[in-house]
Amino acid sequence: MTSTVPASLIRANGSSALQAVFLDMDGTLVDTEGFWWDAEVEVFADLGHRLDEAWRDIVVGGPMTRSAGYLIEATGADITLEELTVLLNEKFEQRIDRGVPLMPGADRLLGELARHNIPTALVSASHRRIIDRVLGSLGRDRFALTVAGDEVSQTKPHPEPYLTAARGVGADPALCAVVEDTATGVAAAEAAGCRVVAVPSVAPIPPSQGRVVVRSLEEVDVPFLRTLIASPSAAPRGI
């Protein structure tokens, strides 16, 4: 976990309104969910196995240990979880080194959050080595805190990553907004007590009480996020 913003800025928003915004990385801010699947397909092809496209929705958004473990079991591949994790990270890094496309609206939203001095954290199931490479495209100085999947004892869908982010910026989870693209991430954020904006990337996410589902980050701005916190019991909105 890394933090780059002074505590005086982190606590600038007071305690009665939106205190912080936490964002997932893959599929939410950067268009890399397909990168992970391509890496998995390639690695398993090298091992002599073909992945079923239907498995994609099962492994998307989850921690690598869960996704890799599922694929080992599904294919019967003769490889350990530790060995597979190394290979997948290497293949993924090869792809992001060629450039990381931002999701529509991501750059604008991050800039707007910075202009409003709203503490913003990147909370990802990806490992630190991956996050640090992607931060070069997103901008390190835009985040008060970054939380990696290999820096917590339990990653998404467990609430620990988002509770860690809230503690890190000195915020009440109930006054924090989370932007996520997968059901796994949404489950983690809601279990932590945060308000959630879901922007589905691969698999659909249904609307729910207090959860907003939008088509794109283009629909998300600071007034929208503040309203989400101010009216937590609002009827669900969905696409």
The residue ranking higher by pLDDT, 157 or 59, is 157
Instruction: Say which residue the tokens 């999701």 belong to.
Output: 103
Give the pLDDT confidence of 145-162 residue by residue, as tens digits: 999 999 999 999 999 999
Q: Is 4 helix (H, G, I), strand (E, B) or coil?
A: coil
The percent of residues in the chain predicted with pLDDT above 70, rounded, is 89
The answer to whether 112 touches 222, Cβ cutoff 8 Å, is yes
Q: What residues contact 119, with CB distance under 8 A and at least 6 apart?
A: 5, 9, 10, 12, 13, 19, 20, 21, 144, 145, 169, 171
pLDDT greater than 70 at residue 215: yes
pLDDT score at 1: 66
pLDDT score at 146: 98
The residue ranking higher by pLDDT, 118 or 2, is 118
pLDDT score at 62: 67
Mean of the per-residue pLDDT values of the chain: 88
Return the ∠ at Cα 191 (arms to 186 and 192), rounded to 5°.
100
In this prediction, residue 175 has a pLDDT band, given cuts at 50, 70 and 90, of very high
For residue 198, what is the enclosing H or E element?
strand 195-198
pLDDT score at 15: 47
pLDDT score at 73: 95
The residue ranking higher by pLDDT, 39 or 203, is 39
pLDDT greater than 80 at residue 41: yes
Dist. CA 176–CA 187, nearest whole Å? 15
pLDDT score at 6: 39
Average pLDDT over residues 192-218: 92
Give the pLDDT confidence of 104-125 residue by residue, as tens digits: 999 999 999 999 999 999 999 9
Dist. CA 106–CA 51, nearest whole Å? 31
Average pLDDT over residues 177-194: 96
| DSSP letter string, 143-177 | -SEEE-GGGSSS-TTSSHHHHHHHHHHT--GGGEE
Question: What is this structure's pTM?
Answer: 0.79
Beta bridge partners of 121: 22, 145
Give the pLDDT confidence of 8-40 residue by residue, as tens digits: 334 444 445 999 999 999 999 999 878 888 999
